[in-house]
Chains A and B, each alone.
Chain A
Amino acid sequence: NAGVTQTPKFQVLKTGQSMTLQCAQDMNHNSMYWYRQDPGMGLRLIYYSASEGTTDKGEVPNGYNVSRLNKREFSLRLESAAPSQTSVYFCASSDDNNYGYTFGSGTRLTVV
């Protein structure tokens, strides 16, 4: 089925370790997004990419970097993980009208 695929689904990191969260979509969408979800905080935008080759900061970009590798793929990198980055991370994509996002099933990250 068409959709957004995120890997890995679960990850435990030690403080200071680095890792990259992968996201790919097969709906030919131009726009892609990374959100984090924390209890009682809803979904907060980390970074987004309006098109291949462009990225912009969202509400909570500190401690993260992103790469729009091609139209399908948008990765999120933690260079030096901190316990405050323990969260569930969601990738999403949308068409040019941005009328409704399609979300992946999330990556559950714990930093100890």
Chain B
Amino acid sequence: AQTVTQSQPEMSVQEAETVTLSCTYDTSESDYYLFWYKQPPSRQMILVIRQEAYKQQNATENRFSVNFQKAAKSFSLKISDSQLGDAAMYFCAYLTNDYKLSFGAGTTVTVRA
């Protein structure tokens, strides 16, 4: 089974500043998909961003961007211009070849006003 590691249990960021969440994974596959999900205190998990491993270009979605380093098996998420609504738990996830998601333990992001 693929292992996804998020080494930062908690991160704090000042409003309007930038925070980067780290994620590493272990795989022997060459083609796969990576995701970042956000789970606000209301608990509904929503997709933030998606990256296809065959694409060299890093995915970007408004204030959210990733730094995908395939050789290093690293997939970090950068949140720019942080807003109070960004406060949530963020999960990194790997999609296996049989279409099952493997999740990291999550990083809780706190945004200071």
* A and B held together in a complex: no
Q: What is A's interface to B at a CB cutoff of 8 Å?
A: none
